[in-house]
Amino acid sequence: MDLTLKVWRQKDASSKGKFETYSISDVSKDSSFLEMLDVLNEQLIRENIEPIAFDHDCREGICGSCGLFINGRAHGPDYETTTCQLHMRKFKHGDTIVIEPWRAKAFPVIKDLMVDRSAFDKILQSGGFVSVNTGGVPDANAIPIPKEAADEAMDAATCIGCGACVATCKNASAMLFVSAKVSQLALLPQGKLEAQRRAKSMVAKMDELGFGNCSNTGACEVECPKGISIAHIARFNREFLKAKIND
Amino acid sequence: MSNIFNASIGRKLLMSITGLFLILFLLVHLTINLFLLFGSDAYNQAAHFMATNPMIKIIEPTLAIGFLVHIIYATILTLQNQKARPEKYTARSAGNSSTWSSRNMYFLGFTVLIFLVIHLLDFYVKIKILHDESIKDVVVNGETMHDTYTLVQAKFEIWWFDLIYILGAIFLSLHLSHGFWSAFQTIGINNSHWMKRLKTIAIIYSLIIGVGFSIIPLYFLVF
């Protein structure tokens, strides 16, 4: 298939970006979105144009490195899919595809389609860990954990930190990401002990870094490649308010 | 509790608490208004009860504060949200991941505010502040009270006036369809089971409010 791509090009964080239009022909419908961009980059190199910079790593949908805003949607038109797992069969011959980077104050553009997501790391460093000494491996079933709690913690832990929630949120809020980290730890015995302190410090960090305020539109859970539920946000709110009331 | 209202979730808590309070107020308001459908004596008595109830002296300023906090914090939070994305997307396809109402709460709230001002000027200011001479007294069951029924009736016989009130009810209803469950979510009273239930109750509640407040102008227009 032949496609027209409108791609955001930006030299560096301080430069002003703009869209460039490229044509690409004979794209295989079986190629992934990133493979299509690889082919485009080969073409650009041959034409002596600087190739487009974009983030990627595992290309298996599990690392959270890739992330493009494609035709107005985080990770493109498919549901529960990362950009690397999006395939060109989702597009038609002759389509024009608009490709933008994640846009948020807390995710500044590094170059072209690459953004700096270290804000997520900073949030994790502020409390997304277990600092109590948990000792050696306990006997099986020595610490009973209800299956529902284990399942929910596991669901929250599937977050790959790609930032699609922030990218798609009309307020560029990081609540889904932070709530997934809070849930994952607060539901299990080791993490429960620090749940309140964690919620407080992660909220403070998230606010400080310039993420917006959640208005519960629910767009994040729809665009999340791992389908993480906003029910975690309710738990996060609960943990935070409990902690603040206890202060 | 230190600095709770400096945190994003703390500020949203204020939105939720005031929102839930206003949700409760709307139910009381609608109940009183529905007396309009049962004739002048019934409505005048209900309105008289509300106006003279000693509780109203506390509730009225609380209500005003509730509105103010809700509006002020909505503005603060919305301004912050604007700043969180300095460069906007060129292509945006938001419709498949969230409802229009949920994305436009501030706009909907603003339309409700405009309606509220019109509404207060029409009735509250006229009755309670200006003591407008067109409002006559009426005696029901031996008690003298304002004939607010006639005031409402005269207003609602004007078609464009009804239109304003029906539009007000529609915008309010849309605002509530998201605001209702969203308030519970922010307070933390929600989980994966209650998500669907709260969203269903939100739709039922907003329909009751929207249809309820629209029936009254329609009733006066038709009969």
Residue A30: per-residue pLDDT: 96
Question: Look-up: residue for tokens 């039922």?
Answer: B204
Domains: count for chain B: 1
Which residues constitute the domain of residue A167? 118-246
Domains: count for chain A: 2
Residue A203: per-residue pLDDT: 97
What confidence tier does A220 reach under pLDDT thresholds 50, 70, 90?
very high
Residue A135: per-residue pLDDT: 81
Residue A117: per-residue pLDDT: 97
Structure token digits, residue A115: 């953004």
Rounded average pLDDT over B150-167? 94
- Residue A81 above 90 pLDDT? yes
Residue A42: per-residue pLDDT: 97
Residue B135: per-residue pLDDT: 81
Residue A106: per-residue pLDDT: 97
Rounded average pLDDT over B59-79? 96
Rounded average pLDDT over A144-165? 96
- Same domain? A128 vs A105: no
- Please state, in angstroms and rounded to a whole number, the distance separating the CA atoms of residues A73 and A33: 14
Comparing A163-167, A192-196, B73-77, B200-204, which segment has the lowest mean pLDDT? A192-196
- Same domain? A164 vs A104: no
Encode pLDDT of B171-190 as tens digits.
Answer: 999 999 999 999 999 999 99
- Measured in degrees and rounded to the nearest 5, phi and psi for residue A33 equal -60, -40
A231 touching B, CB under 8 A?
yes
Encode pLDDT of B205-214 as tens digits.
Answer: 999 999 999 9
Chain A neighbors of B81, CB-CB under 8 A = 170-173, 212-213, 215
**Spatial contact of B116 and B109, defined as CB atoms under 8 Å apart:** no
- Please state, in angstroms and rounded to a whole number, the distance separating the CA atoms of residues B100 and A217: 9
Structure token digits, residue B131: 């003591």
Question: Look-up: residue for tokens 């389509």?
Answer: A95
- Report the percent of chain A where pLDDT is more than 90: 93
| Minimum-distance CB partner of A234 among B87, B102, B190 | B190
Kindly report the average pLDDT of chain A as a whole number.
96
CATH number of the domain where residue A199 is located: 1.10.1060.10
Encode pLDDT of B99-135 as tens digits.
Answer: 999 999 999 999 999 999 999 998 888 888 888 777 8
**Contacts of residue B108, Cβ cutoff 8 Å, sequence gap at least 6:** B101, B171, B174, B175
Closest CA to B139 of B147, B127, B149: B147
**Which residues pair with residue A99 across a beta bridge?**
A7, A70
Rounded average pLDDT over B7-32? 97
| Minimum-distance CB partner of A103 among B85, B178, B186 | B85
Closest Cα in chain A, distance from residue B163 (Å): 29
Residue B39: per-residue pLDDT: 92
DSSP 8-state symbol, A129: S
What number is the ipTM of this complex? 0.93
* Polymer length in residues for chain B: 223
- Same domain? A35 vs A146: no
- Same domain? A77 vs A148: no
CATH number of the domain where residue B72 is located: 1.20.1300.10
Encode pLDDT of A36-62 as tens digits.
Answer: 999 999 999 999 999 999 999 999 999
User: Could B81 and A212 be called an inter-chain contact, meaning their C-beta atoms sit closer than 8 Å?
Assistant: yes
In a domain, residue B97? The reply is: no
Structure token digits, residue A207: 């606010």
Buried b (16+ CB within 10 A) or exposed e, A219-243: bbbbbbbbebbbbbbbbbbbbbbeb
- Same domain? A32 vs A149: no
Q: Of A58, A81, A110, which closes a domain?
A: A110
Residue A138: per-residue pLDDT: 85
- Same domain? A153 vs A98: no
**Spatial contact of A162 and A67, defined as CB atoms under 8 Å apart:** yes
Chain B neighbors of A15, CB-CB under 8 A = none
> At B57, which helix (H) or strand (E)?
helix B56-83
**Spatial contact of B4 and B160, defined as CB atoms under 8 Å apart:** no
A223 touching B, CB under 8 A?
yes
Rounded average pLDDT over A208-235? 97
Q: Of A51, A77, A110, which closes a domain?
A: A110
| Rounded (10°) CA dihedral A194, A197, A200, A202 | -60
State the amino acid at position B195 in one-letter form: M
Judged by CB atoms within 8 Å, which residues 146-175 of A form the interface with B?
Answer: 152, 168, 170-173
Kindly report the average pLDDT of chain B as a whole number.
94
Give the pairing type, strands A3-9 and A18-24: antiparallel
Residue B129: per-residue pLDDT: 83
* DSSP letters spanning B134-182: T--EEEETTEEEE-HHHHHHHHHTSHHHHHHHHHHHHHHHHHHHHHHHH
